[in-house]
Amino acid sequence: MSFRDNPFGEIRVPLVWTAGVALIVAVVVAAALLLGDRRETFRNEAYGVTREVSDAVSAPVTGVVSAPLHWLGSLSGAVGDYFFAVSENRRLRQELEAAAALEQEVLSLRDLNERYRDLLGLQTNPPIPMVSARVVADARGPFANTRLANAGSERNIRIGNPVMSEYGLVGRVVGVTRGASRILMLTDIASRTPVMVDRTNARAILTGDGGPNPKLDYLRGQDPVKDGDRIVTSGDGGLMPRGLPVGVAVRGVDGAWRVVLSADSGAVDFVRVLLFEDFSQLVDQDELNAPAEPPANNALPAVGVTSPPPPPAPAAQSPVQKAPAPRGPTPKAPTPKPPAQKAPTQPAPAPAAETPPPPALEPVF
């Protein structure tokens, strides 16, 4: 087969001309670069026509020559991505699973941080010292509902101290030892808590019966409670301070009033134990210990208090003057007469006993 019969023979002339033009352009560019690449041409006064021509020619030629290289690089990258798509997909799946696990951990820590913030921000008015603890054990049954916290007598926790979560009252401490304390929940069958309706101040006893919603017993008054009324501690009996949130009143299926506890809004994992002893903690001790101001001089004496009489002044004694002895014979002494009988004199009345001042009144809380 001759070259004439070659199907590519028709493009031989264009290829030759193209190669010749490219060769000429390459030679011109090379010559321009050699002539322009001189140190003295970097000076402003020597930057002449040669340098300008070389820059004008090399810029488009370099772009045209480097374009196929960029295309080849993009093509190789696309081919590599196509063949390595499976491994890349597997790597991305692993990263996605790790990110999902990390997201769950972040959400859990965020929720825990918010609970810590709410628990530490729990305050009473007036303020009462509190101790934070964590519930480590849960004892539930048909007749018992208690929790075990990891704080005890080493942190001054005593039997009877109220226990609260970040949502409301949980119960009270019924047993304490070093490093642990037993919490009796409000739903326990042995729990009895004095409460009141915040709207009407009607008193009641919150009685646990083992269910989730304890009952309101011993209500007094005409319509003392309505559905949705807020229930708080009353402070009667000195067991707990007044005003701690307990829950909301609802009507049970048996017709009795019950309380949906505020502590049921979240898990009882972290609690605050109120170091409440008696109502003297709620009084400003600085005012009680302040010394009383002395009464003014023109102040009237207190009623029922008699001041002791001033002691009598001693009587002035006058000196006894001796009479001069008479001169001459001594007169005869007269015969003494029997003394006349005098009426018996009554003894002087004893001075009245001084009335002791009444004891000072002590403040009653």
The string of pLDDT tens digits covering residues 66-125 is 777 677 777 777 777 777 788 888 888 999 999 988 888 888 888 777 777 766 766 777
The string of pLDDT tens digits covering residues 309-358 is 555 555 444 444 444 444 544 445 555 555 555 544 555 555 554 555 54
Helix, coil or strand: residue 282: helix
pLDDT classification of 139: cutoffs 50, 70, 90? confident
Distances (CA, A) of 303 to 299, 300, 306, 316, 359: 12, 9, 8, 37, 13
pLDDT classification of 7: cutoffs 50, 70, 90? low
Q: Mean pLDDT over all residues of the chain?
A: 75
Residues 70 and 208 in one domain: no
Residue 247 covered by a domain? yes
Per-residue pLDDT, averaged over 192-203, amounts to: 94
Residue 294 covered by a domain? no
Count structural domains, the chain: 2
- In angstroms, the CA 1 to CA 23 distance is 31
- In angstroms, the CA 177 to CA 152 distance is 5
Task: Answer whether the bond into residue 127 is a cis peptide, omega within 30°.
Answer: no
pLDDT of residue 319: 43
Residue 323 covered by a domain? no
Residues 43 and 138 in one domain: no
Residue 164 sits in which domain range?
130-282
Helix, coil or strand: residue 149: strand
Looking at 255, 282, 309, the residue that finishes a domain is: 282
Rg (Cα) of the chain, in Å, rounded? Answer: 55
Residues 246, 247, 249, 255, CA torsion sign: negative
Residue 210 covered by a domain? yes
The string of pLDDT tens digits covering residues 41-50 is 445 545 556 5
Residues 140 and 277 in one domain: yes
User: Two tokens at 42?
Assistant: 């970097």
Residues 254 and 163 in one domain: yes
- In angstroms, the CA 253 to CA 263 distance is 22
